Structure 1
C-alpha cells in the first residue's frame, strides 16, 4: 500500500509539473516555425535578389527598405533610423583577363570603394615585389612599378587546405610542406619589413610610384576561398585574384614570361549616402518602456552575397519577430529587432544606437545577438553579468530539448569587447548575449569570402535559431523580474599586473570612408 501511495504521488506530481510546463505560446511558436517557415523565401529575396549589403551602396539601401516593407506586411512597425553617412559606391562588372602570353579569363574581383576604370580598362604587365636588402634598395627599385600591375601577396606553396593534406599526404610530406610554408612566410614578412613599409603602407607607396594597379590574393586557406575587403588605393584599380590564378601569374613572372592582364572595373563613386539601422517594434502592453532586443547586423562585405555573415542572423531575427507577432502579439515588454548597419567596419550601427538611445539601453531586459554563420547555436556566454545564470537558465529551460541539448552555457562568462554587436550593449552595462553557432567551416570558407552565398545556408540550423530567439524573447518579456546588471570583478592581468576593466563604449564612425 505504501508503495502504491508513493507511486500515485509521483504520478500526480509528474502530471502537475507537465501541466505547469505546458505553454500554449511556445507550442504555437513551434507550430508556426515548423509549418509556416518563411526562411527560404526571405533568404532568396535578401541574398539572391538584393545581394551583398556593403555600407554606402544602393544594395544596402534597398535591403533596409525591403526589411521595413516586409515587417509592415506582417503588421510590425519598422523604420530606418539614420545614424550617419558613408562613402557611396556601387560595384560594377569586373573583368580580369590575361592577354599575354595567352588568353585566359581570371577569377577575381575589384575591392570595395575602389575607383572604376574606363570601359576599355587598364592593360599592363604584372610584376612581383623584389627581394631587398633594406629600404634604400627598395626606393631604388620603386620606379620599376610605374605602369605595371604590382602583385603584393606571397605566392602560396599550395592551394590545398591543411585538412586535405592531413587526410591524403604522408606524415612526412605534410610536415615538410608546413615547415617550408612557415619558412617562406617568415622570409616574406621580413622582406616586407626591410622595404620600410608594412603590408598596408606599401600600397600607397606603389600608387605614388605610378603603378597601373594593385593585385592582391588574400587566401582563406580553403579550396577556392579568398577574403574580400576594401581597396587602399585612391586612383588606380585594386583587385583580388583567387589563389589558383594568382599563383599562376606569379610563376609566370618568376619564369620571365612577362604576363599581361587587362582589368575592367566598372564601379561608380556615388558621393555620400545616409547610413541606417533598421528597427522593428512589437510594442509592450504592461511594461512598454522595458525592452527585449533581437540583434543582428544587416551589412556585409561583398565578395559573395553575405549569406552567413550576416544574412542568416538577419533571417533568424526577422523570422522570430514574424512568429512572435503572430502568436504573441501583445508582449509584456516591448520587443525590438535591431538590424545594424556598418558592423563590419567596427560595430558602427549598434554603437550609434546605444549612444543615441540611453533610455532604451537603461531599460533593456536583455538582447540576443546572432552573427557567426549558418550553424545552430551551441554556446551562450553570461557576458560577465554576475547573475546571468538565474535568468538565462530560466528562459532556456523553456526551449525544447531538441534545440537546447546542443547548447553549452558558461556563467558568469566574460564581457565581450568586440566581434559583434552584442559588445556595443555590454560595454554600456546592458545584458546582451551572443547566440554563438556551430562553425560549418565558417572561418575559412564563408567569413568575408567570395564563397559566402545562399547555397551555404543550412536552413534546419537557422530554423532552430529562429525558434530559440523567439522563445528567449518571449520568456524575457514575460519574466516578472528585471534582469540584474551586477558585473563580475575582472581578474588581474598576468602580463601587466593590473586589474582588468569592463569594456567601454566605442565612439561610432558617423562619416565613414570619406
Structure 2
C-alpha cells in the first residue's frame, strides 16, 4: 500500500512539474509574442483602410493590359508615379531600354461559309494591322506528308489561303470535369486517344520540318494570307495569348470551340471561309521603363529593403493576376508603411519592373545599372504568381536565410503565418520571376509564392486574367505579410548574410552545379 501511495505521489509530482513547465513556456512564448505596436498599426491600416479594390480597378479596368512598348504600359508607369506622389512617396520612371512600339486595336473574326458566325478570338501581340476590310479567304489545314521535302512541294498551295496550324483538341472539357462525371473506362479511353493524337501531331510536325516559331514565317513567305492558331489552356473558355511571328499577314488565336469547328469543316471538305479584320498601330521605337519609389532610411539610408513586382503583362486580358495583384500588393504595402512607419531605419524601395514577360528585362537592367543598391540589399521580397495568399517561401540557397527570415516572420500574425511553408536553405531560383535577377547577383531575394487558384490553367497569360479573378482577402493577407517583413528587415540590427550553400552535384553529369549566372537584359526588344 505504501509503495502504491509513493507511486501516486511521484506521478503527481511529475504532473506538477509538467504543469509548471507548460506554464513557464507558455509565459515565455507569450512574452516573445508581445504585440508590436508597429505591427498593430500595419494591421489596422490594412484592414480598415484598404485601397486594394480602388488600385485594382484603376489599373486593370481603367488602364488595361500592359504589354511592353504599348501606350498602356507608359500610362501605367505614369499612373503609378502619380499615385505614389499623392501618398507623399517620391517616385520616378527610370528608362532602361527601348522596345518596338505597338498598340492593339479591334479584332473581328467571322466565318462566312458554310454559314455565318462571329468567332471568338484575338490578334496576337505585335502583329501588323490588316486593311480596313480585313482579309477573306478559305481556311485549310496542314497536310499529312512523308517528310520535309514533301512539305516543301505542298507549300505553294497555301497561296491566298488562311492556314490552321494548331492541333485540334480531343475534348473541350478539362480533366477535372471528366473525373467528376465520366466512367473510369470512358475517362481512360479519352486520355489514351488524346495521348495518341498528341504523339501523332508531334510526329506530323517533325516530318513537316518546322517548329512553332518557324512555321508561320514559312507559310507567310509561301503566300498564305493569314494564320490561325489555338493555344488552349486546359480549362473552360481559356486560351493563352502570346506574340505573333508573321510580319505582314494576320495571326490570330481562336477559342478551342471555334478552332475545332473550322478544323472539322476544312477536314471534311466543306471549304470554310473566314474574314479576319485586325486593327493595330505601329508606333516606332519607344522607351521602356521601370517605376521606382522610395521611403528613405533614417539611420542606414544606403542599405535597402526592396519590394518587387513586375508591372507588365501579356495582353489577351488585363493582366489581373499576372501581375496586377503583385503590383497592388507592393503599392499598398508602400502606402501603409509610409502612413505608419514613415522613418524606416533602412531605405525601403519598390521596383515595378518592365518586360518581365520577355525575360526579366527590367529587373535585370536595374541590377546591372545599380550595383551600389544591389550590393547593399538587406532583402528583396517579390510577389508574382497569382492572386492567392502566400503559402511558400524558400531560402533561395542563402545558407543563413532561416536566421533572419525566421526572426522577421515571427512577427507575422499566426493566422497568416500558419499557411506558409518554408524551405531552408533552399536552392537558388534561376528564373521565373524578378527575384531571380537579384539572386543571380548574390543579393538575398525571396519569392512570396502564392496559393494556386487554378492560376496556370485559368489566368496565367490567358484571355481570362481579369479583375473578377482577384481574391481580395488573399491579396490583403499578402499586403500585411509584405509590410511586416519590410518593417522587420528594415529594423533588424544585423545585416542579412549573403553566404551561399555549396551547390549540389548534378546526378546526371556528376558535375557540381553552379550558382545562377547574372544575365544581361534585352535593351532593344522587337526591333530586329
TM-score > 0.5 by shorter chain = yes
Q: Write the deviation string for residues 252-287 of structure 1: whole angstroms up to 9, x where unpaired.
A: 101111111111111111111100000010000000
1:335-354 paired onto structure 2 within 5 Å? 335-354=348-367
The residue aligned with 1:48 is 61
The residue aligned with 1:61 is 74
User: For structure 2, which runs of at least 5 residues remain unmatched after alignment?
Assistant: 1-12
The residue aligned with 1:81 is 94
1:282-321 paired onto structure 2 within 5 Å? 282-321=295-334
Distance 2:24 2:88 in 1: 44
The residue aligned with 1:226 is 239
Question: How far did residue 8 of structure 1 move?
Answer: 12
Q: Does 2:267 match 1:260?
A: no
Question: How far did residue 203 of structure 1 move?
Answer: 1.2
The residue aligned with 1:205 is 218
**Structure 2 contact 388–451 (Cα < 8 Å) conserved:** yes
**Structure 2 contact 138–271 (Cα < 8 Å) conserved:** yes
Q: 1:240 aligns with which of 247, 253, 257?
A: 253
**Structure 2 contact 401–424 (Cα < 8 Å) conserved:** yes
Distance 1:9 1:431, change over 3 A: closer
SS of 1:225's equivalent? coil
**Structure 2 contact 33–411 (Cα < 8 Å) conserved:** no
**Structure 2 contact 93–292 (Cα < 8 Å) conserved:** yes
The residue aligned with 1:445 is 458
Distance 2:106 2:216 in 1: 23
Q: Write the deviation string for residues 170-193 of structure 1: whole angstroms up to 9, x where unpaired.
A: 111111111111111111111111
Q: 2:49 aligns with which of 22, 26, 36?
A: 36
Distance 2:21 2:207 in 1: 83
Q: Does 2:184 match 1:171?
A: yes
Distance 2:32 2:205 in 1: 69
Distance 1:317 1:51, change over 3 A: same
Distance 1:45 1:192 in 2: 44
Distance 1:8 1:194 in 2: 74
The residue aligned with 1:386 is 399
Q: Write the deviation string for residues 326-354 of structure 1: whole angstroms up to 9, x where unpaired.
A: 00000000000100000000000000000
Distance 1:513 1:76 in 2: 34
The residue aligned with 2:153 is 140
SS of 1:220's equivalent? coil
Distance 2:255 2:421 in 1: 37
Distance 1:92 1:210 in 2: 25
Distance 1:34 1:272 in 2: 43
Question: How far did residue 101 of structure 1 move?
Answer: 1.2
Q: Does 2:153 match 1:151?
A: no
Q: Write the deviation string for residues 115-146 of structure 1: whole angstroms up to 9, x where unpaired.
A: 00111011111000001001111111101111
The residue aligned with 2:504 is 491
Q: Write the deviation string for residues 463-514 of structure 1: whole angstroms up to 9, x where unpaired.
A: 0000000000000000000000000001110111100000011110000011
Q: Write the deviation string for residues 170-228 of structure 1: whole angstroms up to 9, x where unpaired.
A: 11111111111111111111111111212221111101001001000000011110000
The residue aligned with 2:6 is none
Distance 2:347 2:220 in 1: 52
Question: How far did residue 12 of structure 1 move?
Answer: 11
Distance 1:326 1:11 in 2: 38
Q: Does 2:479 match 1:432?
A: no
Q: Does 2:454 match 1:414?
A: no
Distance 1:121 1:8, change over 3 A: closer
Q: 1:274 aligns with which of 287, 291, 307?
A: 287
Distance 1:133 1:53 in 2: 43
Question: How far did residue 14 of structure 1 move?
Answer: 2.5
Distance 1:44 1:362 in 2: 36
Distance 1:434 1:283 in 2: 24
The residue aligned with 2:335 is 322
1:85-100 paired onto structure 2 within 5 Å? 85-100=98-113
Distance 1:286 1:69 in 2: 27
1:432-511 paired onto structure 2 within 5 Å? 432-511=445-524
SS of 1:91's equivalent? strand
SS of 2:422's equivalent? strand
The residue aligned with 2:125 is 112
Q: Write the deviation string for residues 335-379 of structure 1: whole angstroms up to 9, x where unpaired.
A: 001000000000000000000000100000000000000000000
Distance 2:235 2:277 in 1: 27
Q: Does 2:414 match 1:401?
A: yes
Distance 2:97 2:493 in 1: 37
Aligned length: 512
Question: How far did residue 21 of structure 1 move?
Answer: 2.2
Q: Does 2:85 match 1:72?
A: yes
Distance 2:31 2:488 in 1: 18
